Amino acid sequence: MTGFGRAEGLINGKKVAVELRSLNGKQLDLQVKLPSAWREHEAELRQWAGERVQRGKADLFIAAESALAGKRTTFNAELVRAYYQELQGIAQAVDPGSRTDLLALVLRMPDVMATAKEETVPEEWANVQALIEQAYGAFNAFRLAEGAKLHAELGERTGNILKLLEQVKAMDQGRVDRIRDRIQGRLEELKLKADPDRFEQELVFYLEKLDVTEEKLRLATHCNYFLETMGEQEGQGRKLGFIAQEMGREINTLGSKSNDADMQRTVVLMKDELEKIKEQVLNVL
């Protein structure tokens, strides 16, 4: 499920920003990025985020930047002096009249300049954890808002399928008579005489293959079960996906057995609603 949360704070002279975001996906794909000073907590963070995000492509990003104005680099004065004197001696021996900028060369030498290391204290991580929880609170609020919209849409789509099913039931009431009349009319056009008893036997056998009573009952049951499952506690996304698959099987069977243009058009509308349901079910945890 899509989600986003961000929190910022000042911790031990550092500006710390925490972002937690996720995109839709069937499985959990979690990326964790944090400063090297807190790298030892990466496994802990992965477990924490995995339990809460559950599914989707997710990123937990923590950045820290010093908020204090000051020197961030240091020079090794003794090493600079040693390099300079050695290069000066070589220059005097090789070309006494050379005007090479020896100091510029020295500053490019290894280990002359080093970036100052930021000191960390044990209390920092506790404050960072508080920011992570704050970001997760915003992240979860985002997902709850999206979930409410998703719940409404899934309920509406499932309700549309049930309404279309009622139309199918109404069409099915006179379908057998229409099929019988069509077959009899075709026999009359061909001027064929059929034994009445044999005709009825063959007709019954033919109509049994077109009977959709069980499909209508099972589809209604699946739709109601889908709505009930939506009202249960979180973690029902995969279950809803399985129910949607069963709904699709019954709708497909209705279409193949309908043998009626109006019913087939209604079945197409059912399939359209179901495809939209399947797309959105991927966003459900």
Dump pLDDT digits (tens) for 230-259: 887 766 888 899 999 999 999 999 888 877
Let me know how many helices (H) and strands (E) the chain has, helices first.
Answer: 9, 6
pLDDT band with cut points at 50, 70 and 90 for residue 260: confident
Give the whole-angstrom CA distance, residue 67 versus residue 1.
35
Lowest mean pLDDT among 6-15, 200-209, 256-265, 273-282: 200-209
Instruction: Give the tokens for residue 187.
Output: 């026999």
Count how many residues are written for the chain.
285
pLDDT reported for residue 62: 93
Distances from the Cα of 285 to the Cα of 4, 44, 66, 201, 234, angstroms? 15, 22, 38, 52, 7
Q: Which of 100-114, 137-151, 263-277 has the lowest mean pLDDT?
A: 100-114
CA distance 282 to 2: 11
What DSSP string describes 23-48? E--SSEEEEEE--GGGGGGHHHHHHH
Q: Taking a C-beta distance cutoff of 8 angstroms, is the pair 2, 280 a contact?
A: no
pLDDT at 225 over 60: yes
Q: Report which of 116, 106, 105 is spatially closest to residue 77, judged by C-alpha positions.
A: 106
pLDDT at 267: 93
Q: Residue 156: what pLDDT?
A: 94
- Residue 75 reports pLDDT greater than 90: no
What's the pLDDT score for residue 270?
95
User: For 173-182, what is the mean pLDDT?
Assistant: 70
The Cα 54–Cα 15 span in angstroms is: 29
Q: Which of 18-32, 62-76, 145-159 ranks highest by mean pLDDT?
A: 145-159
Tokens for 116? Answer: 């100052």
Tokens in use for 1? 């499920």
Which range is least confidently modeled, 70-74, 141-145, 226-230?
A: 70-74
The phi and psi torsions of 72 (rounded to 5 degrees) equal: -105, -5
Distance CA 245, CA 233 (A): 21
Residue 111 has pLDDT above 80, yes or no: no
Query: Among residues 251, 254, 175, which one has the least CA distance to residue 207?
Result: 175
Mean pLDDT, rounded, for 35-40: 86
Whole-number pLDDT of residue 277: 93
Between 71-75, 161-165, 238-242, 252-256, the lowest mean confidence (pLDDT) is in 71-75
Residues in contact with 259: Cβ distance below 8 Å, sequence separation at least 6, in sequence order: 175, 179, 210
pLDDT at 72: 58
Average pLDDT on 4-8 reads 93
Residue matched to tokens 């050379």: 98
* Assigned token pair, 163: 């309404």
Q: What's the whole-number mean pLDDT along residues 200-208?
A: 65
For 180, 204, 249, the CA distances from 209, given in Å and listed in that order, are 14, 9, 17
Q: How many other C-beta atoms can be found within 10 angstroms of the C-beta atom of residue 27?
A: 8
Query: So what's the pLDDT on residue 272?
Result: 95
**Average pLDDT score, the chain:** 83
* pLDDT for the residue numbered 171: 83
